[in-house]
Amino acid sequence: MTEKSEQHWEEQARNWIAWVREPRMDSYWTYRDAFLDLVPAPGLATLDQGCGEGRVARDLAARGHRVTGIDASPTLVDAAARAHPEGEYLVADAAALPLDDDRFDLVVAYNVLMDVSDVDGFLRESARVLVTGGRLCLSITHPITNGTDRAHPYFEQNWYTEPVERNGLPMVFGGWSRPLSAYTSALESAGFLIEAVREPRWQDVPTPYHLWLRALLP
């Protein structure tokens, strides 16, 4: 599993923790409430697949969800567990979850899928751990905005990195630009039915910045 993107996020873990824990810096602060409006009410149990340092898991727990978080980065999982000692956090490849079948009725994956190497494996595992009738809520950076230019055509899969510095905090974002159909065909193969789609705006950027989906496992 030690592929480019997974290795990248472990290398950037300290920068990412500082970045996301700086109040109001990341777009999550703008989007959080609208994204969580798309998320069903707490039920059986919720998996945060690609939880990072745990900000989404903590927000879900504050709304009454019983959350398990998994992430490939040991440094980020350690930070998540320290920030939320009552939670369950595991180091794992999202495409090979060490979790039983049918354990959850909700999977949340916030800004993870464009960062993972194996989208099909990730979503197959989401479906395996979900009960029939369970739901998957995900956010990705919008494929139309994400790393597409003349040198990186929309229909090809390309690895990109984007160094950013804000408020004196450095961060190198890294992930895969892929066409929208790479995600929708993986959802289809895993057995999901898309039931809601959102394209939230970000400041004055003329194209959608994020894409949010809610999908049902019938």
Ligand X SMILES: C[S@@+](CC[C@H](N)C(=O)[O-])C[C@H]1O[C@@H](n2cnc3c(N)ncnc32)[C@H](O)[C@@H]1O
Can you tell me which of 17, 38, 112, 171 binds ligand X, judged by CB under 6 A? 112
d(CA 119, CA 122): 5
Compute the least distance from the CB of residue 208 to ligand X, in Å: 17
Number of amino acids touching ligand X (CB under 6 A): 22
Can you tell me which of 19, 39, 46, 55 binds ligand X, judged by CB under 6 A? 55
118 is written with which tokens? Answer: 């194996």
- Residue with smaller CB distance to ligand X, 27 or 184: 27
DSSP SS3 for 64: coil
Residues near 202 by beta carbon (within 8 Å), at least 6 away in sequence: 27, 30, 208, 209, 210
Query: Would you give the binding string for ligand X spanning residues 35-54, x where CB under 6 A is met?
Result: ---------------xxx--
51 is written with which tokens? Answer: 């939880």
Using rule CB under 6 A, residue 212 touches ligand X:
no
Write down how long the chain is.
218
Using rule CB under 6 A, residue 72 touches ligand X:
yes
Nearest Cα neighbor of 110 from 211, 218, 200 is 211
Helix (H) / strand (E) element for 25: namely: none
In the complex, which residues of this chain contact ligand X (CB under 6 A)?
Answer: 1, 5-6, 9, 20, 50-52, 55-56, 71-73, 76, 93-95, 110-112, 115-116
